[in-house]
């Protein structure tokens, strides 16, 4: 299956992608993770992308599309993919349709007011790349899965989050109409799954994603 996760920053795309990609037997391809790795390794793409990630703005389409095209040509993507964070503009979606069109697009819909605390409280493990919320960590520096050290993403500062949310609404949200028009959109309304504390359990979101694909 060829699947896209659409949704605002902090919607839980990365959290859900690990389990869903394993369930479907397709690689999880996150353009954000690819850019962060390129920045760490100081590749030409990383050097170009860094200023945009630091500012919370989208990397230019030409750079992003070339990177994804190369990734999708690799052997492990021959039988499908789970794209997380791509496409993010209508031009990227049109380019993907020409490269290897998706079968379905899951829009993980979380209201803006829940996103800020999710993102400012997010911690990522430097060793296993697991994503956690600080409120769920017994030790705020240590990964509960592998014992690695957890860190805060550089773009999870409130001022950068505001720019990322604006980029989402201005440039990415139009993709909901684009894929709806193609009959490929599946919506997972996370607010409707909320428990007493107002948020939803990741395992309930996982079940809702699989149900949306049936």
- Residues forming contacts to ligand AP5 in the complex (CB under 6 A) are 7, 9-15, 30-32, 35, 52-53, 56-59, 64, 85-88, 92, 118-119, 121-122, 131-133, 155, 164, 199-200, 202, 205
Torsion angles phi and psi, residue 11, rounded to 5:
-65, -25
Q: Is the dihedral of CA 198, 119, 30, 98 positive or negative?
A: positive
Catalytic residues: 13, 88, 122, 153, 164
Q: What is the C-alpha radius of gyration for the chain, rounded to an integer number of angstroms?
A: 17
Helix (H, G, I), strand (E, B) or coil at 188: strand
Helices H, strands E: what count in the chain? 9, 8
- The residue range among 8-16, 42-50, 62-70, 178-186 that interacts with Mg ion, by the rule CB under 5 A, is 8-16
- Minimum distance of ligand AP5 from residue 76's CB (angstroms): 20
**Measured between alpha carbons, how far is 156 from 68 in angstroms, rounded to an integer?**
24
Q: Residue 10, interface with Mg ion (CB under 5 A)?
A: no
Least distance CB 32 / Mg ion (angstroms): 5
- Cβ nearer to ligand AP5, comparing 88 with 186: 88
CB atoms within 10 A of CB 71: 17
- For Mg ion, what does the binding mask look like between residues 12 and 31, x meaning CB under 5 A? --x-----------------
């Amino acid at each position: 299956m060829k699947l896209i996760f659409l949704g605002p920053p902090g919607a839980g795309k990365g959290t859900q992608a690990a389990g869903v990609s394993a369930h479907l037997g397709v690689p999880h391809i996150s353009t954000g993770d690819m850019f962060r790795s390129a920045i760490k390794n100081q590749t030409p793409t990383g050097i170009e992308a860094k200023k945009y990630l630091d500012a919370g703005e989208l990397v230019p389409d030409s750079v992003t599309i070339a990177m994804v095209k190369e990734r999708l040509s690799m052997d492990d993507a021959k039988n499908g993919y789970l794209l997380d964070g791509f496409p993010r503009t209508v031009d990227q979606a049109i380019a993907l349709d020409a490269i290897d069109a998706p079968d379905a697009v899951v829009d993980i819909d979380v209201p803006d007011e829940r996103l800020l605390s999710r993102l400012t409280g997010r911690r990522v493990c430097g060793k296993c790349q697991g994503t956690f919320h600080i409120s769920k960590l017994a030790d705020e520096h240590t990964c509960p899965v592998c014992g690695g050290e957890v860190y805060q993403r550089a773009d999870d500062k409130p001022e950068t989050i505001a720019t990322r949310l604006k980029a989402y609404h201005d440039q990415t949200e139009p993709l909901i109409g684009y894929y709806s028009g193609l009959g490929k959109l599946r919506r997972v309304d996370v607010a409707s799954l909320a428990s007493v504390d107002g948020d939803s359990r990741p395992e309930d979101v996982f079940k809702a994603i699989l149900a949306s694909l049936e």
